[in-house]
Structure 1
Amino acid sequence: MEKIFIIEDEEKIRKELSTFLTRYGYECDYSRDFENIVHIALESNAHIILLDINLPYYDGFYICREIRKKLNVPVIIVTSRQSEIDELMSMNLGADDFIIKPYNTQILLARISSVLKRTYHNSDNDILIYKGLTFNISTSSMKFNDEEIELTKNESKILNILMKKKECIVSRNEIMDFLWQSNEFVDDNTLTVNINRLRKKLETIGAKEFLQTKRGQGYILL
């Protein structure tokens, strides 16, 4: 289920939008804390963000710019402001689409679906994103805070299963079974070496303490 984070200060619109999108199979989240909304949005682990422009504390342009500094998560500006300058600024700041209120709900759904497909579903879901960490399966590389590093085949497979089961403990046996699918010999020591190398590469690009060991249980991505 894809998660949408809604940044909208009008409670009625926010609730109606959340109810509508939930009905179509999306998981929706939002916050009333607009003073800390950038941090909350970054921590939401959403697949896409719907962002209004006129907001308390910070406008949507500032929020979009700050999110773009940390994450590649797609952003759709949803606003009542109809100026071409607003649309141009939104796109220049990295927004993926611009929709004017009042909008046709079916068109909004189509725009969301289009952006999600363009971002995540090209090349058979080759892109995985978790808390700012972007893993490109097709290129065996990961990126965090604009720092990118390449992975070996086994490191890539380990990160793959950990990201798909994020925040859940994955046992050593489960990881080894997953690696065996490639017909490569992987013993207990080889797994330990690859885990340590992956952890070091994560730390190299700034993703510290992401990969944690649960003694006697396995590994978890937090």
Structure 2
Amino acid sequence: MINVTVWNENRHEQKNPVVREIYPEGIHGAIASFLEEGGFRTHTATLDEVEHGLTEEVLNQTDVLVWWGHLAHDEVKDDIVEKVKQRVLDGMGLIVLHSGHFSKIFKTLMGTSCDLKWREADEKERLWVVEPSHPIVEGIGEFIELEREEMYGEHFDIPAPDELIFTSWFEGGEIFRSGCTYKRGNGKVFYFRPGHETYPTYHNKDIQRVIMNAIKWAKPAERKRPVYGNAQPLESIAVKN
């Protein structure tokens, strides 16, 4: 069974009654709920917990970390970001959702500003599958249509993805690279765009399916980790005259 930690800053839920109505258990609670129904072992963590809920014990037991943040990226402590980064390099999977594009951990792993255009106008989003053979889109049709979402538009200042899984079109005319995979060290990273807090996006069955597929894809490989540093020779080295 895959161990998943769902991290959410949990600030919108405290401040905005619209968000609280859509996600009464928090965005993290909603995601954890459908993951549990999907057969994952889940744990939740939030910003205001000790060590943001991401203690060494929690991180060491996490196969895949799901990250949602927006209002309080700067409040995430740098030493916790460094611990998460090291776990990714060691093999832990990371799924970054929506406004998590501006999180410290995603920007650190990408090495760019991760900036973009945005607009809140209740517009339609159509996420087109552009890599139909990829396991992340198993069970998904040609596209996912969301009646209302926040717009994100290009240019999205990220490194070229290892794989581009989704491209979004918005009612206002913009497009966006909305499903991107990366490998960092021994770990896998998936950025998935939809999920604005005032829309019920995480109740959508196709969005849930993509996140569950992504977790399966991002889980650590079952193998011994590479050994780094000074190494003894595997064969005898002949003495050179």
Alignment TM class, shorter chain as reference: 0.3 to 0.5
Q: Which structure shows the bigger proportion of residues in helix conformation? A: 1
TM-score (ref. length: structure 2): 0.42
Task: Name whichever structure is richer in strand by fraction.
Answer: 2
